[in-house]
Amino acid sequence: MWPVTTTRNTSGELQVGGVSLVDLAAEFGTPVYVYDEQTLRQNARTFREALAAVYPRSRVAYAAKAFLTTAVVQILCEEGLGLDVVSGGELAVGLRAGMPPREIALHGNNKSGAELRQAADAGVGMVIVDNEQDIDLLAVLALNCSEPITVMLRINPGVDVHTHRKISTGLADSKFGLPVIGGQAEAAVARLAGTPGLDLVGYHAHVGSQLFDCEATVSSVDALIAFAASMRECYGVECRHLSPGGGFGIAYRDGDRPPSPQNWTNVLADAVRAACDRHALPLPMLTIEPGRAIVGPAGVALYSVGSVKELPGIRTYVAVDGGMADNLRPSLYEAEYSAEIANRKAAGDEREVAIAGKYCESGDILIERIVLPPVTSGDLLAIPAAGAYCLSMASNYNMALKPPVVLVNDGAARLIRRRETFDDLVRCDIPLR
Ligand code: LLP
């Protein structure tokens, strides 16, 4: 749940990457998001090495949507990861960070012509075709490209997964990919195979996020490979590259026990081998796309406590200086988090409180129920496992300033994204006079 370097120093202050969170709050203010470089690198390396150990022709592409800054891409690039992007904006940041274009794949269920052109001009390694319109647009673009555009087809394998409805993507009724059942995926293969300038190298699926059970992913691999076998038979298309996407869950609270990267990669490698064996297919290149599992545990959100409002017999609201503008997940998915008092080793009678945000919305509650020692105004509250899908989904609701991001390592803190200012809030705002 916490970054691997987390400790309490002799004054009882929480410390990450060798830096006291009290010192970070003093230097950068709160709310602030703290990323531990060691955890980030370790997660990236663990996934890459674990997969390579059991399936040598493989790659790990980080899903940029989980959290994207230039420095993070630079670190993950150094660790040998590729990058998955879903928009022109993510692509631009990935390129700016120096990620080699060949290592970038463009996803999206409604890519614009401009985004596809941007990807083709940059020379990205792969475009994942989601729908008929992608094929229409790519076919035209390919006419002006000197080399074929490499594509994978995203299929919808019709796999049910155990996760929140809003982050489940493999069911028959989904806006992502083309369903195998009913023949739409097959029709796309027929078209792609007959389109000059497009090189269909294989198939992709992503069945959901924050997954704890490997079974859904195995079913998805089975469906991908069965589909690949039948497309080889019908259209002579060889499956040279396969991706079951990402979705590997992480611990948010004590007692959460997600499979380890080794569990995931073993299960996936076995599933690919077994299915290819069954269908007498050569082993394809394998790409996995973890997002949350790389950055989630590396990030800690640090807030200051302000008002503590006790409603006798009802509940105590401990309000912090952030909330749904920097972390929408509790409001959107009923996501559950834990927290600790960061500025002191707290003692005293523990009791249940709610951690409320500061925004004008009753639903702006970061933690519905948490048992904590007495918390008072001025305390610092740290929320672990805040590295994924918090800042990447942040907003300026109530004209909130997006918090800064600090990278810590070996006792040093480095600002990698500054706090927004009031000027930033009006940078795109055009007055009448
Ligand atoms: N690949 C594809 C094609 C995806 O759509 C996603 C996530 C990933 C990889 C990475 O999934 P991860 O390993 O991070 O679970 N905002 C939600 C999660 C949305 C995930 C969307 N797609 C949340 O906060 O839980």
Cα–Cα dist 6/259, whole Å: 21
pLDDT bracket for residue 76 (50, 70, 90): very high
Q: pTM (2 decimals)? A: 0.97
Torsion of CA 230, 231, 233, 238, to 10 degrees: -120
Mean pLDDT of the region 407-426: 98
Ligand 1: centre distance to CA 167 (Å): 7
Do 125 and 103 meet the contact criterion of CB atoms below 8 Å apart? yes
CB-based pocket (< 6 A), ligand 1: 63, 65-66, 84, 107, 167, 206, 209-210, 245-248, 289-293, 329, 333, 389
Asked about 360 being catalytic, the answer comes back as: yes
pLDDT bucket at 322, cuts 50 / 70 / 90: very high
Ligand 1 centroid to Cα of residue 144, in Å, is: 33
Task: Quick: pLDDT tens for 265-315.
Answer: 999 999 999 999 999 999 999 999 999 999 999 999 999 999 999 999 999
Candidates 145, 360, 390, 428; catalytic one:
360
**Residue nearest atom 16 in ligand 1 by C-alpha distance:** 389
Residue nearest to atom 20 of ligand 1 (CA): 209
Q: How much of the chain, in percent, has pLDDT values that exceed 70?
A: 98
From 154, 176, 289, give the residue whose CB has the most ligand 1 atoms within 8 Å, as the site to mutate: 289
Taking CA atoms only, the protein residue closest to ligand 1 atom 23 is: 389
Taking CA atoms only, the protein residue closest to ligand 1 atom 15 is 247
Question: Atom of ligand 1 at shortest distance to CA of 247?
Answer: 15
* Predicted pLDDT of residue 171: 66
Ligand 1 atom with least separation from CA of 249: 15
C-alpha of 111 from chain center:
19
Question: Quick one: which atom of ligand 1 is closest to the CA of 169?
Answer: 5
Two structure tokens written together for 43:
């997660």
Residue of 330, 57, 98 lying closest to 201 (CA atoms): 57
Between the CA of 154 and the centroid of ligand 1 the distance, in Å, is 15
pLDDT above 70: residue 170: no
- Type of residue at 121: D
Pairing relationship of beta strands 299-311 and 285-288 according to DSSP bridges: unpaired
Give the pair of three-digit tokens for residue 56.
């040598």
**Closest residue to atom 22 of ligand 1, CA basis:** 209
User: Of all residues in the chain, what percent carry a pLDDT higher than 90?
Assistant: 95
Q: How far is the CA of 142 from the centre of ligand 1 (A)?
A: 29
CA 30/CA 301 separation, integer angstroms: 9
Per-residue model confidence (pLDDT) at position 161:
73
Show the beta-strand stretches assigned E in 182-225. Answer: 198-204
Return all residues near 418 (Cβ < 8 A) that are at least 6 apart. Answer: 404
Q: Has residue 160 got a pLDDT over 80?
A: no
Summarised one tens digit per residue, pLDDT across range 62-72 is 999 999 999 99
Question: Mean pLDDT across the stretch 138-147?
Answer: 95
CA distances from 326 to 9, 27, 262, 382, 395 (A): 28, 20, 31, 14, 7
Max Cα-Cα span within the chain: 72
Average pLDDT value for residue range 244-267: 97
CB-based contacts of 54, cutoff 8 Å, min separation 6: 265, 266, 269, 270
Asked whether the beta carbons of 397 and 358 are under 8 A apart, the reply is no
Per-residue b/e over 114-124, b at no fewer than 16 CB within 10 Å? ebbbbbbebeb
